[in-house]
Amino acid sequence: PGSSCLLLGAAQFMSTSVFTCRPPSVCGQAPLNTRIVGGQNAAPGSWPWQVSMRYQGSHVCGGSLINNRWILSAAHCFTLISGWTMVLGLQTQQGTNPHAVYRAVRRIIVHPRYNGNTNNNDLALVQLSSTINFSDYIQPICLAAAGSTLYNGTETWVTGWGYIQSGGELSLPPPGILQEVEVPVIGNGKCNCLYGPGSITKNMLCAGLLAGGKDSCQGDSGGPLVVKQGSVWVQAGIVSFGNGCAEPKYPGVYTRVSQYQSWISSVITSNLPGFVTYFSSGRNRDVTCSATIAVTSNSILLT
């Protein structure tokens, strides 16, 4: 079943962010975790919910295991519905992976309001052909519940096997080791200023370095952006889109998972994923973007 929420006092935690629901013991655990573009090799088993989604045998997108039968990913990955294989417990894209488990797909459910032009509601659920047995290398991730907050500056982690240079010019060198990168949340106000007012909706979350250098990229799409509280990992975002990869002033944009607790629960009617309400403490030091339009020659400048 899903998580049972118990109110916990914020004073019990000394970190920047706290959750108010006790997470279920079956999600958000990474027993082998000791602690992309600009990222580093991940140790085996560090991110046991990470999924490699393969189309006709080739890695195309990432995803995250959210219970023993379902995977969460991005809607834009599924321009084609058939021909997919899900690989769990994977460390490298080539070579030997002793903990890898393969599953066919029973069905793919794209969010009914997904808009490919605006990237709004960019998420999908994938039902596996049969259930998965958990191990140290295969575990489900907890999901951010409705009402969760991630303030500007909150540190997050993104993982994937995507390109390590913008424009798809440089793929991971063999054997294609899973990459991890730590990036801070950029408030939606600031992110709207960067991408253009109205580009970033309440259903989106931004994260990255304004100076550039660290980001998700092509091939990481659909993968998880996670935050940690104590020993529990919570998925707050799904890799969605960006302006290039790791470009200055253009952080990565992610689907905000907490906006979709109701929809996910309506699709997965049994063995619900664990939802955790994650709150950031302190002040949200974001900005409000106001657009001043100045016409110079034939160009329009937003300031």
Residue-level pLDDT at 173: 55
Q: Among 98, 57, 92, 64, which Cα is nearest to 172's?
A: 92
Does pTM surpass 0.85? Answer: no
Rounded CA separation 51/238 (Å):
12
Active centre residues (catalytic): 76, 122, 221
pLDDT tens digits, one per residue of 188-215: 999 999 999 999 999 999 999 886 555 4
Indicate the residue type of 55. Y
H-state helical runs in the chain: 188-195, 261-267
Residue-level pLDDT at 301: 31
The SS3 call for residue 12 is helix
pLDDT tens digits, one per residue of 72-127: 999 999 998 899 999 999 988 888 889 999 999 999 999 999 999 999 999 999 99
List, for the chain, all residue ranges whose pLDDT scores fall below the cut of 70: 1-25, 34-40, 163-175, 211-219, 243-248, 289-303
Residue-level pLDDT at 11: 28
Residue-level pLDDT at 156: 94
Question: Which residues 6+ apart lie within 8 Å of 158 measured at CB?
Answer: 36, 39, 180, 181, 183, 207, 215, 216, 220, 223, 224, 225, 226, 239, 252
